[in-house]
């Protein structure tokens, strides 16, 4: 009897403990599954992070490549050309407005003065606009050594040039290169852009190349927000914008901003002293006293403004 009783008690005890053991085992299994899942999540996260890093790496290289291409593009258009370094004495002197001294008989002085005024056009961007009213023009015909040098009078420089060209044997004209302090106007009184288009249409063998240091009476995109932007009235802006655009779209005309190479070329064909030539080229990348920007900066901005005129439909801004 005692044995049967003990056996029954043991069986009863087993039945009571079995659910607890099962629960413990189940709980242990859950904890193991949880740890395994967490481990897998951590592994996945590491792999994902590695994948992101691998994707980022090629993009960075691509971005560097694009930046390199942009720099090469800037180099080609004259905005980042390597220039001769100025000596410490040039920096300390600051490139004053005074031109190199010459003897009274030196005929280069008037030319140097004109080139200096062309070069300085609106580099004092906040206060120098009154100095930009006179247009200086230097014309090279074909590859002739002696350029034509003109400035506005009663007639504009472009009108004076056309009169002079028409007095030559026009059949010999092939390439005409103009270096201008201002782009041609489209005023009712003069209409220089239209006159140049007319000249091209009458002389179908001529290719016309213009370098401009400033855009005459046009609301430049690069100047938007500056106080002088609205000094040009909408009607005047529209006339000059559309006139210059028509000239730029002529298939035998190229209108460009200056570059270091263009200034170098100009200074090589105009009779100026070596010291004057060196002074201007040394200044190209520097902001000199009396100005608030360098010639290089202004040439780059003019270049972008010309691109806007060429490719963007006219809008009163």
> Using one digit for the tens of pLDDT, what is the confidence trace for 214-240?
999 999 988 888 877 888 899 999 999
Q: Could you tell me what percent of the chain has a pLDDT over 70?
A: 64
- Given 77, 96, 129, the domain boundary residue is 77
Whether pLDDT at 60 is above 50:
no
**133 and 207 fall within a common domain:** yes
Q: For residue 138, what pLDDT band results from cuts at 50, 70 and 90?
A: very high
Asked whether residue 92 is domain-assigned, the answer is no
Looking at residue 226, its pLDDT comes to: 80
Neighbour tally for 226: CB within 10 Å: 12
> Using one digit for the tens of pLDDT, what is the confidence trace for 62-88?
333 333 333 334 434 445 443 333 333
- Given 62, 77, 92, the domain boundary residue is 77
Residue range(s) defining the domain that contains residue 176: 107-311
Q: For residue 145, what pLDDT band results from cuts at 50, 70 and 90?
A: confident
Distance of CA 283 to the CA centre of its chain: 19
**pLDDT average, residue stretch 93-120:** 60
**163 and 279 fall within a common domain:** yes
CA dihedral 286, 287, 288, 290 (to 10 degrees): 160
Full-model pTM: 0.67
Q: How far is 304 from 279, CA to CA, in rounded Å?
A: 26
Per the CB < 8 A criterion, the answer to whether 298 and 213 are in contact is yes
**143 and 37 fall within a common domain:** no
Q: What residues contact residue 290 under an 8 Å CB cut-off, 6+ apart?
A: 97, 124
CATH number at residue 175: 3.40.140.10
**127 and 49 fall within a common domain:** no
- ∠129-134-137 over CA atoms, to 5°? 125
The domain tally of the chain equals: 2
**pLDDT average, residue stretch 195-223:** 95
Looking at residue 294, its pLDDT comes to: 96
Looking at residue 5, its pLDDT comes to: 59
Q: Could you tell me what percent of the chain has a pLDDT over 90?
A: 52
Whether pLDDT at 190 is above 90:
yes
**180 and 301 fall within a common domain:** yes
Phi/psi for 156 (5° steps) reads: -75, 160
Of all helices (H) and strands (E), which one includes residue 257? strand 253-257
Looking at residue 227, its pLDDT comes to: 77
Q: For residue 103, what pLDDT band results from cuts at 50, 70 and 90?
A: very low
Adjacent-strand bridge partners of 93:
none
Per the CB < 8 A criterion, the answer to whether 270 and 119 are in contact is no
Asked whether residue 98 is domain-assigned, the answer is no
**202 and 281 fall within a common domain:** yes
What's the mean per-residue pLDDT of the chain?
A: 76
Nearest to 202 by CA among 249, 252, 244: 252
**pLDDT average, residue stretch 298-308:** 96
**pLDDT average, residue stretch 33-39:** 50
**146 and 246 fall within a common domain:** yes
Give just the sign of the alpha carbon dihedral 30, 31, 32, 34.
positive
**306 and 192 fall within a common domain:** yes
Looking at residue 72, its pLDDT comes to: 37
- 115: buried, middle or exposed (CB in 10 Å: 19+, 13-18, 0-12)? buried
**115 and 256 fall within a common domain:** yes
Asked whether residue 89 is domain-assigned, the answer is no
Asked whether residue 85 is domain-assigned, the answer is no
**180 and 273 fall within a common domain:** yes
């Amino acid at each position: 009897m005692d044995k049967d009783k003990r056996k029954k008690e043991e069986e009863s005890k087993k039945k009571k403990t079995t659910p607890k053991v099962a629960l413990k085992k189940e709980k242990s299994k859950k904890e193991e599954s949880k740890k395994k899942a967490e481990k897998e999540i951590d592994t996945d996260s590491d792999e994902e992070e590695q994948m992101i890093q691998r994707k980022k790496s090629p993009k960075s290289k691509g971005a560097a490549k694009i930046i390199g291409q942009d720099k090469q593009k800037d180099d080609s258009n004259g905005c980042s050309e390597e220039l001769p370094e100025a000596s410490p004495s040039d920096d300390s002197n600051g490139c004053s407005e005074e031109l190199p001294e010459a003897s009274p008989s030196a005929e280069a002085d008037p030319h140097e003065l004109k080139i200096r005024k062309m070069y300085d056009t609106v580099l004092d961007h906040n206060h120098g606009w009154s100095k930009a009213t006179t247009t200086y023009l230097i014309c090279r015909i074909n590859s002739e050594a002696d350029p034509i040098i003109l400035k506005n009078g009663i007639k504009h420089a472009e009108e004076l040039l056309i009169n002079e060209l028409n007095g030559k044997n026009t059949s010999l004209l092939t390439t005409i290169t103009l270096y201008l302090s201002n782009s041609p106007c489209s005023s009712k009184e003069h209409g220089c852009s239209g006159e140049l288009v007319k000249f091209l249409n009458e002389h179908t063998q001529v290719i016309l190349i213009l370098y401009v240091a400033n855009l005459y009476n046009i609301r430049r995109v690069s100047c938007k927000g500056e106080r002088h932007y609205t000094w040009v009235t909408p009607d005047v802006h529209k006339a000059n914008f559309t006139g210059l655009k028509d000239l730029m779209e002529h298939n035998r005309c190229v209108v460009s901003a200056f570059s270091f190479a263009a200034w170098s070329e100009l200074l090589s064909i105009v009779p100026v002293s070596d010291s004057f030539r060196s002074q201007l080229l040394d200044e190209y990348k520097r902001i000199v006293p009396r100005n608030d920007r360098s010639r290089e900066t202004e040439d780059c901005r003019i270049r972008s403004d010309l691109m806007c005129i060429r490719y963007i439909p006219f809008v009163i801004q």
